[in-house]
Amino acid sequence: MDYRDPLFSIIMFFLVILISVLITLGFGKIKSFLKQREIERLLKEFDYVEIENIKIDESSINALLMLAKAYEIKGDYERALKIYLLVEKQNHSVSILKSIAMIYFKAGFLEKSKNIVYQILKVSPRDKEALKLLIWIDEKLGNYKEIVDVLEVFKELGVELRKEKANALIKLFLKDKCNIKDFCEGVGSFDDIYRKYPFTRREYVEFLFKTNIKKAYEILDVYKDLDLYWNRDDIPDNEKFCNILAAKKLKLCNKKAPFEIEALKYLPKDLAELEFEYICSKCKKTFPLYSTRCPNCHKLFSQELIVKLSEKKDIENIEF
C-alpha cells in the first residue's frame, strides 16, 4: 500500500490514537501500582501490635470498620488499632491509614501519627483531612511555623482557614512575637489580631488580664466571660458589673440578671456558689476546663461558658 494512499493515512491516524490511549492507561496503571507500593512500604516501617492472622472478605470489612470506630469512640485505642491494621493488611486504603494516624494522635503518639500523615501526603498531597490532622499534631508539638506552611498549602487549594490562621497568629505572638514574613504582615500586637478576628475575644481578654487589667474589664462580656474574673478582687465598681457585685454581696443592684446571678443576689452568702463548665457549640461535649480547640472535635473557638449554681462546700476541715 502506498503511504500516499488516503486509506494509509486513516489507518495511521487511528493507530496513533490507539497508541496514545494505551500509553495513558499504562501510565495510570504504573502510577496506581507505585501508590500501592508506597502504602505497603509505609506499613512495614511501623512496629504494630501483633494481630491474629484472620482472613476477611469484602462483606465483613464495613462491619469491622464500624466496630473499630466504636472502640475508638469508647477510648479503647489498642483494640481499634488492631482492627484497622487487620483490615489494612488485606484491603490497603489511604482512608484507613488516616484512621490509624488519628488513633496514634488521640493516644498521644504524635511523632508516629505525623510520620504516617507525611506518607499519606506523599501518596495524596491534596488530602485536606490529612493536612488538618498535621496542623493539630504540630500545634501539640509547638511547631507553629510548620502550621504556617500547611496553611499556605490550604491557600493554594483555595481554602482559607481563618480560625486556624488566627490561632496560629496568637500562638506565634505569645511565644516569640509574630515575625514570619507575609503571614504576620499587619500584626504587630494582640490588639491587631483581635481587631481582625473578633472571635478571639476570650483569648484576648485572658492576655489583657496579664498586661492591661483596666482594658480587660472594658473589653470582656460580663456574663460570657464571667469565669475569667469571678474570683478576682479588683472588679470595677460601676454599672457594668452591678449585678456581679450584688451577687458577691458587695453592693445592691436592681437590674435583672441571668438566673444563677439573680439567685446569688438573694441567697445567704455562704449557702451557694458558682461552678463553671464549657460546652462545644459543634459536638455538644462538655468539659471542666476551657480550651481554645475542642479536645473532642478539634473545632477552634467553639467552647461556650455554662454557669451552674451549686451548694457551697466547706473545705476547711477536709482531710487529705
Question: Is 292 a residue whose pLDDT tops 50?
Answer: yes
What does the pLDDT read at residue 191? 95
238-278 pLDDT, tens digit each: 999 999 999 999 999 999 999 999 999 999 888 999 999 99
Grade residue 50 by pLDDT with cuts at 50, 70 and 90: very low
Delineate the domains of the chain, giving CATH numbers in brackets. Answer: 38-150 (1.25.40.10), 161-219 (no CATH), 221-311 (no CATH)
202 class by beta-carbon count within 10 Å (0-12 exposed, 13-18 middle, 19+ buried)? buried
Please indicate whether residue 278 or residue 182 has the higher confidence score (pLDDT). 278
% of the chain with per-residue pLDDT over 70? 80
Average model confidence (pLDDT) for the chain?
Answer: 85
Grade residue 186 by pLDDT with cuts at 50, 70 and 90: confident
What does the pLDDT read at residue 294? 96
What does the pLDDT read at residue 208? 97
Question: Is 214 a residue whose pLDDT tops 50?
Answer: yes
Q: Which of 70-84, 186-200, 224-238, 289-303 has the lowest mean pLDDT?
A: 70-84
What does the pLDDT read at residue 252? 93
54-80 pLDDT, tens digit each: 556 666 778 888 888 888 888 888 888
3-state secondary structure string across the chain:
CCCCCHHHHHHHHHHHHHHHHHHHHHHHHHHHHHHHHHHHHHHHCCCCCCCCCCCCCHHHHHHHHHHHHHHHHHCCHHHHHHHHHHHHHHCCCHHHHHHHHHHHHHHCCHHHHHHHHHHHHHHCCCCHHHHHHHHHHHHHHCCHHHHHHHHHHHHHCCCCCHHHHHHHHHHHHHHHCCCCCCCCCCCCCHHHHHHHCHHHHHHHHHHHHHHCHHHHHHHCCCCCCHHHHCCCCCCCCCHHHHHHHHHCCCCCCCCCCCHHHHHHHHCCCCCEEEEEEEEECCCCCEECCCCCECCCCCCECCEEEEEEEEECCCCCCCCC
Question: Is 223 a residue whose pLDDT tops 50?
Answer: yes
